[in-house]
Amino acid sequence: MNNSKDGFVKKRLRGIKFALKGIWILATTEDSIKAQFFIGLFAIVLGFLFNISLSEWMIQLTITGLVLVAEALNTAVEKMADFIHPNFDKKIGIIKDVAAGAAGFAAIISIIVGCIIYIPKIAYIFS
């Protein structure tokens, strides 16, 4: 609940608390987020194994964040759609598909970036 008497710092701290609660809900209940966390951790292990550069680390972490953000927003849209209209509806289907498309964009970009970073390194090992 928003209490208008609260000061700026108190409001921001409460905002952080809700954000952490949201991350906890996503990480403990959503299989798609759990899978993306796992892939993100796998990418971190790969980063150490292949000793990627500082700029590659920054790009990899940014892309991992992009995927998690897109997946989280997709989950929020799905939950809102299910709450507003639990029954089958063509328009709800399109809304969910579009939200899933956002997560799809992020996933495709992450695969391309992963290939750009790691294919030359893997090719070097086998050359």
Ligand X SMILES: Nc1ncnc2c1ncn2[C@@H]1O[C@H](COP(=O)(O)OP(=O)(O)OP(=O)(O)O)[C@@H](O)[C@H]1O
The residue ranges that bind ligand X (CB under 6 A) are 32, 78, 88-89, 92-93, 96-97, 100
Q: What is the DSSP letter of 4?
A: T
Q: Give whichever of 32 and 37 is closer to ligand X, judged by the CB atom.
A: 32
Residue 34 in marked binding region: no
Would residue 71 show up in a list of annotated catalytic residues for this protein? Answer: yes
Identified catalytic residue from 26, 43, 71, 72 = 71
CA separation for the pair 103, 108 (Å, rounded) = 9
Which residue is at the shortest CB distance from ligand X? Answer: 93
Residue 31 in marked binding region: no
Q: Give whichever of 51 and 87 is closer to ligand X, judged by the CB atom.
A: 87
Q: Give whichever of 6 and 89 is closer to ligand X, judged by the CB atom.
A: 89
Residue 30 in marked binding region: yes
Q: Determine contact, residues 75/33, Cβ cutoff 8 Å.
A: yes
Shortest distance in whole angstroms from residue 102 CB to ligand X:
12
Residue 71 in marked binding region: yes
Helix, strand or coil, per DSSP, at residue 118: helix
Mind giving me the DSSP string for 19-60? HHHHHHHHHHH-HHHHHHHHHHHHHHHHHHHTT--HHHHHHH
Place of tokens 């980063």: 47
List active site positions: 71
Annotated binding-site residues read 30, 71, 78, 96-97
